Amino acid sequence: VPGLYLVATPIGNLEDITLRALRTLRSVDRIACEDTRQTQKLLNHFEIAKPTISLHEHNERERTTELIEDIRSGKSIAVVSDAGTPAISDPGHILTRAVLEAGLSIYPIPGANAAITALIASGLNSTTFRFLGFLPEKTGARRSYLESLAAESTSAHEDEKSAPATLIFYEAPHRILETLSDLESVWGADLRIVVARELTKLHEEFLRGSVSEIRTELAARDRIRGEITLLVEPAPRQSGSGEQPASLVERLAALQSGGL
Ligand code: SAM
């Protein structure tokens, strides 16, 4: 069927490709890839022979015109990124918008995504969360962004209507220590965080605890490698109250049912 197929691919473990993703990649006319060499490895692994073209942040706008013409003429196009779900901190969104504006069809083929994978195993509030992608790279911009988030989450927390949303970020291994020290200076040493590293891969690791504990733990390593998703529970712990997130959720449920 002609249209644009947004196909999720694994974030590490190749077994995370879905049957539908494989069938789609085998049946489309062309595959638009963030990096054709990267995707070629995946296609070789699954013995899929298909023409690929590049679609990355520097050519997404130009490519869009060409791909829309393809779809108009009855072709089906898959979009894949290097890993995970297209259009999530990855190319695909500009093309998606343009395809919709042209009145053509979009078919999402869901699969792996680092943010959701990290969230479900984090133990942090997974009912409400905010995915915020990559933080600003420059120290000043990152600090002021984190300060604005802290201000928002504190005021949102004051009304006690809801547990604060978990914040989810993507972060580069060479910047994680700097970011953790920024988090600590903005929110305090007791801020609960989770560092999810190398999800679905051989050296998958979760570090759960206060920002100061985890920063110390990571700083003691020779080198921090691999891909990192960072989760933050923005409620500043009241010292001495020792309240766990679960009890907050229970209290909320009790409040809603008029039990408190
Ligand atoms: N579109 C992808 C998705 O759906 O997750 C994300 C692409 S973004 C350019 C890449 C970032 O996602 C990495 O820098 C890292 O922060 C995070 N990430 C990707 N794979 C990961 C993994 N296996 N473990 C932890 N974080 C990962």
Share the mean pLDDT of the chain.
Answer: 91
Our answer on whether the CB atom of 89 is closer than 6 Å to any ligand 1 atom is yes
Of 62 and 235, which is predicted with more confidence?
62
Residue-wise pLDDT tens digits, 69-105 = 999 999 999 999 999 999 999 999 999 999 999 999 9
**Res. 25: pLDDT tops 90:** yes
The complex's ipTM works out to: 0.99
Supply the residue whose CA is at minimum distance from atom 12 of ligand 1: 170
DSSP 4-56: EEEE-B-SS-GGGS-HHHHHHHHHSSEEEESSHHHHHHHHHHTT----EEE--
CA distance 3 to 71: 6
Supply the residue whose CA is at minimum distance from atom 11 of ligand 1: 170
Cα(214) to centroid of ligand 1, in Å? Answer: 20
Our answer on whether the CB atom of 83 is closer than 6 Å to any ligand 1 atom is yes
Position 255 confidence tier, pLDDT thresholds 50, 70, 90: low
Our answer on whether the CB atom of 68 is closer than 6 Å to any ligand 1 atom is no
Helices (H), 46-198: 60-72, 93-101, 114-122, 139-158, 176-187
Our answer on whether the CB atom of 135 is closer than 6 Å to any ligand 1 atom is no
Residue-wise pLDDT tens digits, 99-109 = 999 999 999 99
Our answer on whether the CB atom of 199 is closer than 6 Å to any ligand 1 atom is yes
Our answer on whether the CB atom of 170 is closer than 6 Å to any ligand 1 atom is yes
Residue type, 38: Q
CA distances from 63 to 59, 100, 106, 212, 232 (A): 6, 15, 16, 45, 37
Cα(112) to centroid of ligand 1, in Å? Answer: 10
- Find the mean pLDDT for residues 230-255: 57
How many separate helices (H) and strands (E) can be counted in the chain? 9, 10
CA distances from 8 to 77, 109, 257 (A): 14, 6, 40
Q: What sign results for the dihedral spanned by CA atoms 172, 174, 176, 181? A: negative
Q: What are phi and psi of 30, to 5 degrees?
A: -145, 155
Cβ(8)–Cβ(18) below 8 Å: yes
Closest residue by Cα to residue 61 from 105, 100, 33, 96: 96
Residue-wise pLDDT tens digits, 41-67 = 999 999 999 999 999 999 999 999 999
CA distance 163 to 166: 9
Nearest 5°: the CA angle 112, 12, 135 is: 70
